[in-house]
Structure 1
Amino acid sequence: MIEFIDVGKTYSNNMKALEDINLRIEKGEFVAVIGPSGAGKSTLLRCINRMHDISEGKLIVDGVEVNSLKGKEIRKFRQRIGMIFQSYNLVTRISVIKNVLVSFAPKLPYWRKVLGLYTKEHKVKALTALDQVGILDKAYVRVDQLSGGQQQRVALARTLAQNPDIILADEPIASLDPVTAKQVMDDFTKINRETNISVIINIHHVEIALEYADRIIGIRKGKIVYDGKAEDLTEENLNYIYKGQTEELQSNEMEGKTDV
């Protein structure tokens, strides 16, 4: 369970990225966060795993107040949360399986970490994760020989291997073609339904968000302006999320244009 209570985030340049965020996400939910560029979508996600500190309010994950954590507690907490980026964050000159094995590095003794020595159990978990996303046959291929979609699936496998409670994905399909994007989203859906891992995706593609997510959170200028089921999202809701306009406001604007 993730809960934001009166959360705000202000950056050092006094830019207010989040304001009065009150939000509760239950275990196993598939949530898509939508909104215009600069609305605060990425900031919202990155506060959950403490990549960004909140400026006010409380953020609680499974009963733990995130901003009270320090040092090793933060690193241990982050092991429970998988983070997937648009840029994949893979080491392209090494094999797929070695990239997945990196997820176990924080728990290794120092000497194993330095030498890159992983146990048989680690390798089995890595191969299982690759199988879950359908690229087991690429395990020993260098990452730079894969397509963008395959690389994103490697990133997803790396996250799965760490056995997270939550997966956060920041624009995971932004650079993918429509067919590949669908394959990656199918993977997210399968993982969410088969493992009950909470999936929270920041996404620009509204039609894909509506197709895959159970719940939509709309953000505009750092505030939540829509929170509800995907099937309940209306054109009016979308106009308000992206343009700040309601039907009444649009009607008045049209009348004004007609009068001119």
Structure 2
Amino acid sequence: MIVFEHVDKTYANGYKALKDVSLSIEQGEFVAIIGLSGAGKSTLIRTINRMHDITAGKLTVDGVEVNSLRGKALQKFRRNIGMIFQSFNLVTRTTVIKNVLAAKVPELPLWRVIFGIFPEKDCLEALEALDKVGILDKAYTRVDQLSGGQQQRVALARTLAQNPGIILADEPVASLDPVTAKQVMQDFKRINQELKISVLINIHHVDLALQYADRVIGISGGKIVYDGSAESVTKDVLDEIYGGKLEEAV
């Protein structure tokens, strides 16, 4: 369970990105976070794996206070949280399977990392992860030969190879065409349902958020202004989240 208790986040320049955020997210939920650019969506999810430190309040994940973690304890904590970005963050000049195996590097002795020698178990798990996202046939293809949608699936497979309990996705379909975006969202949904992994997606596409998420959190000016089921989102709710500027979100 992820629990925010009166959380604030103020950046060094004085900008307050989160204001008195309180919410709880149960294991296995599929949550979409929506709002205008600058509303605090990315900041919210990046505090969960402590890419950003909170400046007030309390944030716990499975009972562990995130801001109390240091060194190896923080590294171990982050292993349970996968992170997917809009830009894929892949090494494009190498193969798909090598990118997925990168998820195993923190667990390996240095000599294996230097020589690129992975245990058979890790290789099998990498192939299984690729199979789960439907691109097993691309395992030995160079990443730069793949489409954008296929590259995002590689990023998702790499995250699955961590065996995470939580997946955070920061605008994972923003750079994809509408058809491919839906396919990738279907992958997230299937993985959430089949593996019971919590999925939190920061997303601009309101239609996709409402179609695939079980729960929607709306942020405006750093504050939570809506938290409920996708089915309960109305035009009035969207007007409150977007201040009448919904067209800027799609």
- TM-score, length basis structure 1: 0.93
Q: Does 1:139 align with 2:136?
A: no
1:172 matched to 2:161: no
What residue number does 1:203 align with?
203
The answer to whether the aligner puts 1:34 opposite 2:17 as a matched pair is no
- Code of the residue aligned with 1:130 in structure 2: it is L
**Shift, 1:114, TM fit:** 1.7
Whole-angstrom distance in 2 between the partners of 1:55 and 1:19: 10
The C-alpha deviation readout for 1:24-75, integer Å capped at 9, x for no partner, is 0000000000000000000000000010000011100001000000011111
Distance 2:157 2:209 in 1: 21
Q: 1:62-211 alignment to 2 at 5 Å?
A: 62-211=62-211
Cα distance in structure 2, aligned partners of 1:113 and 1:41: 35
Identical counterparts, % of pairs:
70
* Corresponding position of 1:255: none
Q: 2:232 corresponds to which letter in structure 1?
A: D
Q: Do residues 220 (structure 1) and 238 (structure 2) align?
A: no
The one-character-per-residue Cα deviations of 1:197-224 (angstroms, maximum 9, x if unpaired) are: 0000000000110000000000000000
Deviation at 1:117, TM superposition (A): 1.3
Instruction: Indicate the residue corresponding to 2:12 in structure 1.
Output: 12
Secondary structure at 1:89's aligned position in 2?
coil
Q: Please give the per-residue CA displacement for 1:177-202, whole angstroms capped at 9, x wherever unaligned.
A: 01100110010010000000000000
How many residues are matched? 245
TM-score normalized by the length of structure 2: 0.97
Q: Equivalent residue for 2:47?
A: 47
Distance 1:24 1:175, change over 3 A: same
**How many angstroms apart in 1 are the aligned matches of 2:206 and 2:244?**
16
Deviation at 1:121, TM superposition (A): 0.2
Structure 2 CA distance for aligned equivalents of residues 131 and 54 of structure 1: 37
Q: Determine if the alignment matches structure 1 residue 22 to structure 2 residue 22.
A: yes
The CA deviation at 1:244 is: 6.7
What is the CA deviation profile of residues 122-149 of structure 1, one whole-angstrom value per residue up to 9, with x for unaligned ones?
0000000000000000000000000000
Which one is further off, 114-123 or 125-134? 114-123
Q: After the TM superposition, which segments of 4 or more aligned residues of structure 1 sit over 3 Å from their partners?
A: none
Return the offset for 1:113.
1.5
List gaps (5 residues or longer) in structure 2: 246-250
Cα deviation for residue 115 of structure 1 reads 1.6
Q: Could you tell me which amino acid in structure 1 is paired with residue 133 of structure 2? A: V
Residue 84 of structure 1 aligns to a residue whose secondary structure is: strand
| Shift, 1:116, TM fit | 1.6
> Which residue pairs with 2:248 in the alignment?
none
What SS is found at the alignment partner of 1:53?
coil
Render the CA deviation track for 1:13-34: whole Å, top value 9, x for unaligned: 0000001000100000000000
Q: Distance in 2 between matches of 1:235 and 1:99?
A: 42
Which is worse superposed, 125-134 or 108-117? 108-117
